[in-house]
Amino acid sequence: MPEPVAGPELRPAHHRPGGGFRNPPGSPRRRATLRDYLKFLLWDMRVARLPALPPDLALPGEPDLAALPENAVCWLGHACFALRIGGKLVLTDPYLSRTAGPFGLGPKRFLPAAVAAAQLPRLDAIVISHNHYDHIDLAALRAYRWRAETLVVCPLGVGALLRRQGYQTVIELDWWQCWTLDGLTVTALPAVHFSGRGPFDRDKTLWASMALTSSERKVWFGGDTGYGALFREIGQRAGPFDLALIGIGAYEPRVIMEASHATPEEAIAIARDIGAARTIGMHWGSIMLTPENPFEAPERFRRAALEQQYGESNAWILKVGETRTF
């Protein structure tokens, strides 16, 4: 099992003394007021309109994930990827249903996932970054056919929710803890975000980014994160990486989102800080969570790669259902 967290006298900085968690030092401050949130919910999201969908947003047909080759990744939409690394088939943040919310309430997908949860092949592991509805989709988790056989790796406090869905092998990690499965190591790393699935559980479970390491490749999965000083530390302690999967959407208004979601420009800065040779922009193009144009992020992402001398060819934008080797 993962090593236990140190006692109170050595409590990590991201552990609140009274329980729960907080962002690492050097993260942007949560400065939004109640007025900012009310404006966001009652005006910004009500007047926002979905533009026409780009014609090449998704590939036709359903990808054959069981045949995914080694060191390849397939984007299923939003923050959900299938990867084969270290000989293991891994799924990240399984949001595959239509609605991101409880009881059928909440934002709805405008583009279906590339694969329905019931059609997923048997996975070796599911890796989850945090407990938000667009990252833990209970309907999808229940529809998956191999719940009892599949390992799930998640941050501290998230395991109880997963066990209630029938998952029997659930490993909870604190930041900088790792778990190894026959040559594939999953390491929980810091992120700038928050957690909660209702009004009374804010920050009671941990959020994380995740590193997937085999003898040949290293992949960083960002989950949801804003930009902060922590990424240079991740690069120094855990990097470099062959590939980084980084969120580039849901970034407006900045007064609210700067402490939880990166802009496309900040995503490139993250890739540079952690030493990622290539990066894929995710968390866009499937669901409208914030009022900005949901299709502007890829162009800003590519332009930022040029302007920050990262290289446009190293900033990948995939179609939903597309597979690429790394």
| Both tokens assigned to 244 | 């980084």
**What is the residue-averaged pLDDT of the chain?**
96
In a domain, 208, yes or no: yes
Report cis status (omega within 30 of 0) of the bond before 69: no
As a whole number, mean pLDDT of residues 241-258 equals 98
CA separation for the pair 171, 89 (Å, rounded): 17
The verdict on residue 289 lying in a domain is yes
Query: According to the model, what pLDDT value does residue 2 have?
Result: 61
Say whether pLDDT at 214 is over 80: yes
**Residue 237 pLDDT more than 60?**
yes
pLDDT at 6 > cutoff 70: no
Q: Say which CATH number the domain at 246 has.
A: 3.60.15.10
Compute how many other C-beta atoms are within 10 angstroms of the C-beta atom of residue 69.
8
51 within domain boundaries = no
**Beta bridge mates, 126:** 91, 152
The total number of structural domains that make up the chain? 1
pTM value is 0.95
With respect to residue 63, please indicate whether it lies within any of the assigned structural domains: no
Residue 283 falls inside a structural domain: yes
User: Is pLDDT of 139 > 60?
Assistant: yes
288 has a pLDDT exceeding 50: yes
The parent domain of residue 192 ranges over 71-325
